[in-house]
Amino acid sequence: MKKLIDLHLHLDGSVPVDTIKELMIKHEMPMLEAASLRKKLSVSPQCHDLNEFLEKFSFAVNLMQTAADLRLITFELLKKLKREGLVYVEIRFAPQLHTEQGLTQEEVVRAVISGLDQFLIWQKEQSSSSPDLHATFLLCLMRLKGNDEANQETVTIAKKFLGQGVSGLDLAGAEMLEFAIRQYAALFQEARAAQVPFTIHAGEAMGPESIREALALGAKRIGHGIRCIEDQALVDKLIADKITLECCATSNLNTKVFDQLDHYPVRRLLHEGVKVTLNSDDMTVSNINLPHEYDLLEEKTGLTRQDERQLYLNAVNAAFCSAREKERLLSLI
């Protein structure tokens, strides 16, 4: 089994299907046939774009509104990731999306961290020879109308919980001109001042210019960023500045960034010297996991063991974790 690192995984897009079923029973919701439930949770090959992709999150988010449910989801997801060979993961979520039934953003974060604590106890009790899975959380600011106060609160909470389960921030949501990255400059300036690491979704639905905007705000990691290939000068800048891309192959296929994966440019960018990583993005929405992504790129693009080693090393170097944790991750290969 490969030892894997995932730097770009959304909690609400990766709720295990069995956990969804358990929560539906708990909340006395009508049970759906397997095909109908999958249709609500996952995209089809006919998915048109990022906006349609994002619609698949709503069903799971409705089941993520209490502390108990958030704790269970986090616990079950981490167990799943452990079984798939992950040794480190950064799970991202937007606390403001889980306050519909009265939780505060801080209570949301505490619930998710308690799910991690439960997992760590479970992991310690297992008689397994496989390496431990270490996890941390990124809090997402959201590209939404009228949520400036909510985004400000997320930054405040990230500062409060930094190093206590939370390791950074992200900017997520629909990429469009209405929510240009530069509009969030003050929030990321505050994050930089407080030494809170961050990544920004860019270069997926919107083109290379959105990546440049993210870099201008001080991002050292870019969520997706794959459309940098449209601008060689930008690729050269990514190499020179040692910027890490959080690439998500099947997700980019789902959102029609690419029509096929045979020429997905991870190997090309890797060999040019870009700090590329491979990640799952949304396991349930895309109906995949990280081992599947590696197998897929091996088949479609000729990804080699040496390529995979470099992807792992890139992920270790870019991870929002301590030097001690980086040493542990390096020792595993």
Amino acid sitting at position 131: P
Helix (H) or strand (E) holding 212: helix 208-216
What is the spatial distance between Cα 162 and Cα 167, in angstroms, rounded to a whole number? Answer: 5
- Return the closest-CA partner of residue 88 out of 1, 5, 3: 5
* Amino acid code (one letter) for 162: L
Indicate which residues carry an active-site annotation. 204
Beta-carbon contacts of residue 123 (< 8 Å; ≥ 6 apart)? 82, 132, 133
C-alpha closest to that of 283 among 30, 43, 23: 43
Q: Token match 């046939």: residue?
A: 33
What is the DSSP annotation of 74-91? HHHHHHHHHHTTEEEEEE
281 token code pair: 């993005």
**What is the DSSP secondary structure assignment for residue 298, as one 8-state letter?**
H
